[in-house]
């Protein structure tokens, strides 16, 4: 399949999507989001891929939803919007999805990074939710995922006053998991993705499901789900292999079943 707004590649077992609208600072229009979802869905169903990664350029991960595309939209057009509809599809991906972020990570760009399972950033990354300046509010998870990630105080500050976070602040507040210089953040993100892609695939997708459930359940419900998923993994060959390999002091060979 050919794409106009993204570049798609693989490195070993890592599937990579690079947002590629440099003239618009990778603003997320409907076409880009549809392509992104299609590329990630293809990786998600490809057994040769163990982990996926979204990145932008060193200057901009993404400057948000495409303001020019939305500017004159009616409420019904927004309800039917391809751009907003695509977000639900991202949450249905089974394999881990990493964001490698540098430069501007604003509005829908920040929301896209937060829809990923882990964010690795360059020291030049700037995170923000500036929608208030446009007479709207975040529309793709900014008020929800950001608040869960950094807490009410910082989320309110960012969403109401357009406070921007540096990579260091984002790290301190728990929005991102690693920071590296701009020259090496992408290599670091690819390295982390490759490590995850080499882990037993069924356990990996199960772990992702269990962690994500923490956002949507009470502690007791989450604990019950975790217990069920943990015990279910004893039905996999990879659990037998992993534990046998440990006892035999050798590297495990994963079958993905
Ligand atoms: N939508 C559409 N076009 C955008 C864009 C966006 N979100 N962000 C940047 N662009 C375009 C600019 O219009 C400009 O195009 P032209 O060359 O045709 O004029 C081009 O990208 C370069 O932008 P700048 O000249 O502004 O570049 P800069 O480096 O000086 O500034 C920036 C970069 C700080 C990101 C600035 O462009 C900016 O503030 N962008 C808007 C950020 C924003 O408000 N995002 C929220 C969007 S709403 C949203 O995301 C809703 C949601 O929750 C789903």
pTM of the model: 0.96
What would the pLDDT profile of 42-64 be if each residue is shown by its tens digit? Answer: 999 999 999 999 999 999 999 99
Band the pLDDT of 1: cuts 50, 70, 90. Answer: confident
What pLDDT score does 2 carry? 87
- Does the annotation count 131 as an active-site position? yes
**Ligand 1 within 6 A of 139 CB?**
yes
- Does the annotation count 123 as an active-site position? no
Question: Alpha helices, DSSP H only, in the chain?
Answer: 30-44, 67-70, 75-79, 82-91, 108-115, 142-150, 152-161, 167-172, 185-197, 201-213, 219-232, 237-247
**How many degrees, rounded to 5, is the angle at CA 196 between CA 195 and CA 201?**
130
What pLDDT score does 83 carry? 78
Pocket test for ligand 1, best of 30, 31, 58, 64 (most atoms within 8 A of CB): 64
**Ligand 1 within 6 A of 64 CB?**
yes
Catalytic residue among 60, 62, 65, 197: 65
Distance CA(253)–CA(90), nearest Å, equals 30
- Does the annotation count 108 as an active-site position? yes
| Å from CA of 53 to ligand 1 middle | 23
Give, as one character, the DSSP assignment of residue 223.
H
| Å from CA of 116 to ligand 1 middle | 22
Distance CA(192)–CA(205), nearest Å, equals 16
What would the pLDDT profile of 52-96 be if each residue is shown by its tens digit? Answer: 999 999 999 999 999 999 999 999 988 888 778 788 899 999 999
What would the pLDDT profile of 100-155 be if each residue is shown by its tens digit? Answer: 999 999 999 999 999 999 999 999 999 999 999 999 999 999 999 999 999 999 99
Q: Whose CA is nearest to atom 19 of ligand 1?
A: 24
Distance CA(42)–CA(52), nearest Å, equals 11
Domains observed in the chain: 6-197 (3.90.226.10), 201-247 (1.10.12.10)
Is residue 5 within 8 Å of residue 19, measured between CB atoms?
Answer: yes
Length of the chain measured in residues? 257
Partner residues linked to 103 by β-bridges: 60
- Does the annotation count 111 as an active-site position? yes
- Residues of the chain with pLDDT > 90, as a percent, come to 93
Distance CA(113)–CA(244), nearest Å, equals 37
- 3-class DSSP state for residue 203? helix
What pLDDT score does 124 carry? 98
Atom number, ligand 1, closest to the C-alpha of residue 84: 54
């Amino acid at each position: 399949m050919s794409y106009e707004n993204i570049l798609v590649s693989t490195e070993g077992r890592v599937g990579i999507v690079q947002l590629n609208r440099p003239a618009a600072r990778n603003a997320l229009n409907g076409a880009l989001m549809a392509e992104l979802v299609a590329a990630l869905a293809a990786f998600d169903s490809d057994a040769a891929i163990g982990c996926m990664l979204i990145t932008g350029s060193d200057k901009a991960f993404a400057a948000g939803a495409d303001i020019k595309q939305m500017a004159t939209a009616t409420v019904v057009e927004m309800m039917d919007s391809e751009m907003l509809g695509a977000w639900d599809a991202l949450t249905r991906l089974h394999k881990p999805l990493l964001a490698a972020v540098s430069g501007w990570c604003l509005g829908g760009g920040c929301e896209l990074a937060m829809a990923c399972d882990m964010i690795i950033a360059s020291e030049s990354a700037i995170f923000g939710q500036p929608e208030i300046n446009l007479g709207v509010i975040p529309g793709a998870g900014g008020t929800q995922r950001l608040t869960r990630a950094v807490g009410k105080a910082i989320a309110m500050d960012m969403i109401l006053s357009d406070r921007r976070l540096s990579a260091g602040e984002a790290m301190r507040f728990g929005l991102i998991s690693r920071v590296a210089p701009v020259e090496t953040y992408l290599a670091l993100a690819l390295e982390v993705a490759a490590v995850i892609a080499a882990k037993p695939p069924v356990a990996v997708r199960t772990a992702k499901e269990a962690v994500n459930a923490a956002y949507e359940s009470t502690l007791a419900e989450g604990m019950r789900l975790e217990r069920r998923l943990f015990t279910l993994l004893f039905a996999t060959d990879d659990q037998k292999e992993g534990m046998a390999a440990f006892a035999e002091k050798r590297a495990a060979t994963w079958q993905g079943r």
